[in-house]
Structure 1
Amino acid sequence: MTCSQIVLLLDILRRTSILGMMSLKTFLFVCLLVGAGESISRADQGKKHGDEAERLQARYTPMVKLIEGCLPAVASLQTFQAQNGGGVFTMGVGSASVIHEEGYLLTNNHVLFRMHQGQAFLPGQPPMLFRIIATMSSEDLALIKVDAGKSLPSLKLGRSDDLMLGEPVVVIGNPGGLAHSVSEGIVSGLNRSTAVAGTFLPGMVQTSAAVSGGNSGGPLINALGEQIGVITSKNLDGENINFAITADRVREMFPILLSAELRYGFWLGLQVEMLGPSVIVQDIGEGSPAEESGIEIGDSIKEVNGREVRDGVDFHLALVGKAPGGRLELQIQRNGEQRTVEVELGELELLKPVAEEGVEGGLKFEGFEGSWDALPNFDELEPVADGVVKVPNEDAYKTDNGDNYGLCFKGFVKAPEEGLYTFYTSSDDGSRLSVGNKVVVNNDGLHAVQRKSGLVRLPAGLHPVTIAFFEQGGDEELEISWEGPGFSAQVVPEDAWFHLP
């Protein structure tokens, strides 16, 4: 007992007249009893707290730690989608992962379909509007950005070339609008194929982790806390048969998804390895600003303008918003030595428009007969039909049974203003679209209807265009769409096609 407790006991005994009847031995014995009871009470309380700590520690499993570490880097998305006319909007939900601390998020293209405005919700952060940086419908990938005003927790983009059947995985996302929901499962299949909104997606990873509408765009995470996939779709005819775009596919497609030089109009002329753990220069364009600066193939880039770049994705993100005439200061490592290289960005050379004198509406076409597994060189074949069509499609010419034929359209497409244009071909079987001498969309091969896209930066005016198409058997389809400055994806209208008579 403490001194204050003894004084308090004496006062209680005095007030109740008990103290006067006690001997000193009796009083000391009472003190011992009270003190012992207090010690036992404290011991019981300490044991209780110890048991609770042990129980909490036992429940704090590696899975809980994994989710605790990854959750702050997973966003729930809410989108408002414009409907046809009338100013009517519907709400959609999806998921995304933070892949860079400056606020870059990876998601699915179909999550952003017809999006007018979108918000991202990250744990511990206020709701943030996001803007679309880049989309790629042919891979169902999209890059968006939030401006948080501070560094955000991010997920490391892992590798998927060594995935093992049965290894544990976690899905974090926004199923049905239930923000930051978690499910677990295993890698249950490799190299699967699926289709989303008419887009054929090969090489997918299959998982048994539960997925519902709203999980699209969210991360598939391995036991190391690395993102190894982007949840994209599920098999509605089975239970827990779900698919994700692999991390390696994201890495491979990222330079095309972002297309920084085309998107912002500058010229660097530098390619880096996308699958390696660092930023290694893989190729340098002849006469490019990169070559003139003295950069060499094999150099390892460590920083861009003072910003650390850890892999190829980081490097390409460091190019967002750059412009012709801007300067890049690169910290590189060559043969074990650190050095600084400065690069002045050039201006991307645009395709030159052609004169509009004498042109008429529509495209010329030639029809061919034959059986092919891939697009032939139609210039070497003899056409069986020709003419002019208002828009290119599979019906310009076809055989009696609709099989084993090909079409080649030539003429001009008119860009209404200078800017970045995305062209799409939706075809069954193969198709290819070229502007000038540049192949913009390659959708070749035998396949069911699938949509592919490509980017090109065009000045305003007429540009030579060639569209090739073939059909071997079964159904046939050819549709050409585009999106550009001030307008969303739509079928290229009749008044955009021209030819010389």
Structure 2
Amino acid sequence: MNRLLLSFVLIAAFSWQSFAASPRETATVQLIRKIKPTVVPVYPVENDRPLGSGTASIIHPAGFMLSNDHVSKGKSGLALVNGERRPYRVIGRLPGKDITLLQLRTKSPLPFIRLGRSHDLMTGEPTIAAGNPGGRGIIFTQGIVSAPSIMDGVNALMMSYFQSGRDEFVQFDAASNPGNSGGPLVNALGEQIGIVSSGVVSEENSNYAIPIDRVRSLFNNLLPVEVMSDFWTGIEIDTLADRAVVKSVAKNSPAAKAKIKAGDIITSLNGNPVHTGVDWILGLVGGKSGNEAKLQLAGKKKRSAKFKLVPYPLPKVAGRTGKVAGLNYEVYHGKFKVLPDFDGLKPAQTGTTDELATESLVEGRDEYFALVFTGYLDIPKNGVYRLTLGSDDGSKLFLGGKLLIDNDDNHPMQHLSRIVRMQKGLNPFRLEYFDYTGDAELELKIEGGLHKKTTDIPNEMFFRDE
């Protein structure tokens, strides 16, 4: 009897040792097991009809997810979490960058993937791509980083021309098919280093991901929670740092009055841990003016701070006396590759115009020029608006004397948008633009107020000083 028992013990021990040391249990298997609960299939829905399928990655235990804007199409929908259908909503969008932020409905914390960095990617380092091809559910493929930084549809010679002005992507060779869009590209540490976005149909294993550094650097634009929810902390957070480092604090803001300073590190908000700048922004969701914010801070010494949220400050509007329809403009000649300091230049031409035009204002020149428009946007009512600036080549939009959208540098037609809270009335703005060579295009669009969809700003909204 004892010998029989001993035999069973030895067999069990040997079997366990064999399983634990099994060559099947590779680092890749362990990595996929780790990230699998954080990747979900998503299905946008409109009028109870599915609009397609794609993928999203859970980046926060409260159910916040990253995906492509072309996946969500700006619509809420359903996600499959451990086989269970759960609704999600769209809470942030950057259509021009093909990035969207979704939130799952959840009653308990969810597993999430950590956001890594993409600035130091190495050609040849291993990657895992996760996605929902054909809407059949999540699958995983393995490959390498083929190129840490590449421009879609541009040859190497043209890349040197565009410099840093055009968006670049991570190219990888792991298999990726329709439905994988929005899924994470993951490094060997289990960190998300990109959002799978597209591929080259005419080539094999040539797929692109939006670098995660672009997502992180644009996160304040992706989810301008204070603007949208009408409250103000005054804190600008560093979304690229490994911790939630305060970049700056606005003068006379609630945070400034609470003695919070640049360089402080936020470690918790209202009792919830804050690890990064992205955590800080997501932790503000649900806030409103009058609420109290309680912070734990690190830095030279640990301390706590608290302040009340106040209404978001609005840009000042101008009176209508002395204002007429149209815009003022100035033309500058030069081989500009970025927007210059116009204060040190003399305009070659000045005038007024009824519309945002380019070549029609520069007397026959089709390249090597810059334009500056100044005037006012006549906003019909207080509220939240999305302004979208598109240009070929570079442009900048200033609202109320402050830079709102920076779309500078050499690049083909490229759009960048910001959400802003504006007052009813004449809001002063300035638009700078240049064309080096090639097409000369400039667009300024608005969404919100009387415009439910993004549309070119109508000429009747433009005013200038008489």
Deviation at 1:105, TM superposition (A): 0.5
2:135 corresponds to 1:177: yes
What residue in structure 2 maps to residue 101 of structure 1? 61
Q: Secondary structure at the match of 2:297?
A: strand
Give the Å deviation of 1:397.
1.4
Give how far 1:358 is off.
5.9
Alignment length, in residue pairs?
448
Closer, same or farther in 2 for the Cα pair 1:364/1:271, shift >3 Å?
closer
Q: 2:100 aligns with which of 136, 142, 149?
A: 142
Query: SS in structure 1 opposite 2:314?
Result: coil
Residue equivalent to 2:281:
316
Write the distance in 2 (CA, Å) between the matches of 1:136 and 1:415: 22
Cα distance in 2, alignment partners of residues 256 and 431 from structure 1: 17
Q: Do the aligned residues in 2 keep the contact of 1:361 with 1:495 (CA within 8 Å)?
A: yes
2:186 maps to 1:221:
yes
Instruction: Name the CA distance, whole Å, in 2 between partners of 1:427 and 1:320.
Output: 32
Aligned pair partner of 1:121 in 55, 76, 80? 80
Give 3-state SS (helix, strand or coil) of 2:438's partner. coil
CA RMSD of aligned residues (A): 3.1
For structure 1, which runs of at least 5 residues remain unmatched after alignment? 2-38, 82-86
SS state at 1:159 partner: coil
Q: Work out the CA distance in 2 between the residues paired with 1:268 and 1:303.
A: 15
Residues 193-238 of structure 1: CA deviation (Å, up to 9, x unaligned) = 2379xx9753432211111222222101122222121112212332
> Are positions 1:437 and 2:396 aligned together?
no
Higher relative contact order (CA 8 A, sep 6+): 2
Q: Which residue of 1 aligns with 2:298?
A: 333
1:474 to 410, 431, 438: 438
Partner of 2:113 in structure 1? 155
| Equivalent runs, 1:299-378 vs 2, <5 Å | 299-335=264-300, 338-357=302-321, 359-378=323-342
Helix, strand or coil at the partner of 1:402: coil
Q: Does 1:167 align with 2:132?
A: no
Q: Is 1:447 matched with 2:411?
A: yes
In the TM superposition, 1:48-87 aligns within 5 A as 54=19, 57-80=22-45
**Quick one: distance in 1 between partners of 2:303 and 2:33?**
39
Contact 2:326 2:352 in 1 (8 A): no
What is the aligned partner in structure 2 of residue 131 from structure 1? 89
C-alpha displacement at 1:334, in angstroms? 4.4
Alignment partner of 1:284 out of 230, 249, 274: 249
Distance 1:195 1:351 in 2: 40
Distance 1:297-1:381 versus aligned 2 partners, 3 A rule = closer
Evaluate the alpha carbon distance shift between residue 435 and residue 333 of structure 1 in structure 2; reply closer, same or farther with a 3 A threshold. closer
Contact 1:399 1:405 in 2 (8 A): no
Instruction: Calculate percent identity across the aligned residue pairs.
Output: 34
Hey, what does 1:417 align to over in structure 2? 381
Deviation, 1:172, is: 0.8
2-structure distance, mates of 1:301, 1:438 = 27
* Separation in structure 1 between the aligned mates of residue 76 and residue 276 of structure 2, nearest angstrom: 31
Tell me the SS of whatever aligns to 2:287. Answer: coil
Match of 1:271 in 2: 236
In 2, the alpha carbon distance for the partners of 1:129 and 1:372 equals: 49
- What's the TM-score once normalised by structure 1's chain length? 0.80
Q: Distance in 2 between matches of 1:201 and 1:240?
A: 23
Query: How does the TM-score come out when normalised to structure 2?
Result: 0.86
Residue aligning to 1:260: 225
**Distance apart, 1:468 and its partner CA:** 2.2
Q: What amino acid does structure 2 have at the position aligned with 1:98?
A: I
Q: Please give the per-residue CA displacement for 1:65-107, whole angstroms capped at 9, x wherever unaligned.
A: 22222111112121246xxxxx997723221110001010111
The equivalent of 1:32 in structure 2 is none
Structure 2 residue identity aligned to 1:94:
G
Give the direction of change, closer, same or farther, for the CA distance of 1:273–1:452 in structure 2 (3 Å limit).
closer
CA distance in 2, matches of 1:437, 1:327: 30
Deviation string 1:278-327 (CA, Å, 9 cap, x unpaired) is 22333333332212213344433221101011122111111123222221
